Structure 1
Amino acid sequence: MLKAPTLLPLSVNIIPSLSLVEKKIPLRFKEKLIKVMPKILQPSLRFVPFSAQKSLLIPALHSIFSEAITEGDFEFLQNKWLKISIIDLQLNWWISFDQEQLIMASPKDNIAEDVSFSANGDDLVLIAGRKQDPDTLFFQRRLKIEGDTELGLEVKNLIDAIDIEQLPSSIHDLVDFGANFLQNTQDELAEEKSEH
């Protein structure tokens, strides 16, 4: 009797080989890939139903922030709403905290956020991969924090405290690869520009 092949985690199958390939990709191609990726992803992401987004995002956030949730670090978000916007992908999420867990509101709920964080996807990947810190991107106007200043500072401090090593290995490796790819490409472009 034939057994179906088991799938290895994404990090085992793909990520190491992508890292090797990335070094061989011409700089112009990498630059164009970074520019067109949101245009490729955005139309299809519009059709992902809210329920699917919620079923992926809330468990991921609970995994990332499990220690902070257990320690009560999210209580400041009780009865408050945080809007997270990925500008270039036209994605918006409203997150709050209730009964010791993160919750998410549907865009149809017309929630008025107390604070909002917005940035392009590549900048958020750089933050997640620890290649850029939120303060730097904020002062470069690449990360916008609007609304309740104190609430925004609390959220930023939680983001700063994320330990990428706590992510499941496949997600950690994917975020790490994406952040390295973006940072390496930006560094190469800056170096090329300084030589001219």
Structure 2
Amino acid sequence: MSAVFSAKIAQQLLEFTPKAIGFPLAKLPFSFKAKAISQLLGLLLAEQAADDELGFLTDKWVAIQVEDLNLAFEVSFNGKWQVRELTDAQVAFSANSAELILVAAAKEDPDTLFFQRKLSIEGDTELGLEVKNLLLSIEFASMPTPIRLSIAKLAAVIERLQIEAKPTVILAKSPSY
């Protein structure tokens, strides 16, 4: 298979897959998505909740927008996770799913993505930094095994596709006269 053909397929997979996932996701009732998000946050941040490290989220709302999945919601923590549709968050994070998966797998740094304009953070800067630091405090190895393995495999596929999608430069030899 030619390098150009392979790069085009990789690029199409990176673009099409989130759309293919986003379509049925959009059909689910928000209450179902909210319950799943709340449960996932409860699993991922159980240690931080037990250590009372989530107090800064009391009566504060953080918006998360996964742009390529057309998924948007707000979260808060008042002793338990609350999830609602977008209304009026103090800070908003937005990125595509691939970047968020790479951050979750500790394969990409959120600051790097921010400066590359692949991650947007708008609103209350102090709250945004606290949320970013909270997320960075999650030890990848301590995540529940099914979640950790799923994220690791998705990240590996994304990294491979990103490598394959990069255009290959072919240098032709100059004719010698």
Which range, TM-score by smaller chain?
0.7 to 0.9
Aligned counterparts of 1:88 and 1:188: Cα–Cα separation in 2: 20
- Is 2:47 aligned against 1:67? yes
- Is 2:90 aligned against 1:114? yes
Aligned counterparts of 1:195 and 1:27: Cα–Cα separation in 2: 13
The alpha carbon displacement at 1:157 in A equals 0.4
Q: Counterpart of 2:168?
A: 193
Aligned partner (choices 113, 131, 138) of residue 107 of structure 2 = 131
Aligned counterparts of 1:90 and 1:38: Cα–Cα separation in 2: 9
SS of structure 1 residue aligned to 2:106: coil
TM-score, with structure 1 as normaliser:
0.78
- Is 2:81 aligned against 1:102? yes
Aligned counterparts of 1:139 and 1:42: Cα–Cα separation in 2: 26
Aligned counterparts of 1:141 and 1:93: Cα–Cα separation in 2: 21
Aligned partner (choices 33, 42, 46) of residue 26 of structure 2 = 46
Give 2:95's aligned amino acid.
A
Aligned counterparts of 1:142 and 1:83: Cα–Cα separation in 2: 16
TM-score, with structure 2 as normaliser:
0.86
The alpha carbon displacement at 1:27 in A equals 5.0
The alpha carbon displacement at 1:69 in A equals 1.1
Q: Counterpart of 2:152?
A: 176
Aligned counterparts of 1:137 and 1:33: Cα–Cα separation in 2: 21
What do you get for the CA RMSD once the two structures are aligned? 1.7
Are the equivalent residues in 2 in contact too, given 1:62–1:102 (CA < 8 A)?
Answer: yes
Are the equivalent residues in 1 in contact too, given 2:59–2:77 (CA < 8 A)?
Answer: yes
1:4-40 superposed Cα distances (whole Å, 9 cap, x missing partner): xxxxxxxxxxxxxxxxxxxxxx554333211101221
Equivalences for 1:9-88 in 2 at 5 Å?
A: 27-88=7-68
Aligned counterparts of 2:95 and 2:36: Cα–Cα separation in 1: 20
Give 1:55's aligned amino acid.
K
The alpha carbon displacement at 1:125 in A equals 0.8
Aligned counterparts of 1:155 and 1:52: Cα–Cα separation in 2: 24
State the identity %: 35
Aligned counterparts of 2:118 and 2:127: Cα–Cα separation in 1: 19
After superposing on structure 2, the runs of 4+ consecutive aligned residues of structure 1 that deviate more than 6 Å are none
Are the equivalent residues in 2 in contact too, given 1:84–1:94 (CA < 8 A)?
Answer: yes
Higher relative contact order structure (alpha carbons within 8 Å, sequence separation ≥ 6): 2
Aligned counterparts of 1:30 and 1:117: Cα–Cα separation in 2: 27
Aligned partner (choices 64, 81, 90) of residue 70 of structure 2 = 90
Q: Counterpart of 1:9?
A: none
SS of structure 2 residue aligned to 1:73: coil
Aligned counterparts of 2:105 and 2:131: Cα–Cα separation in 1: 17
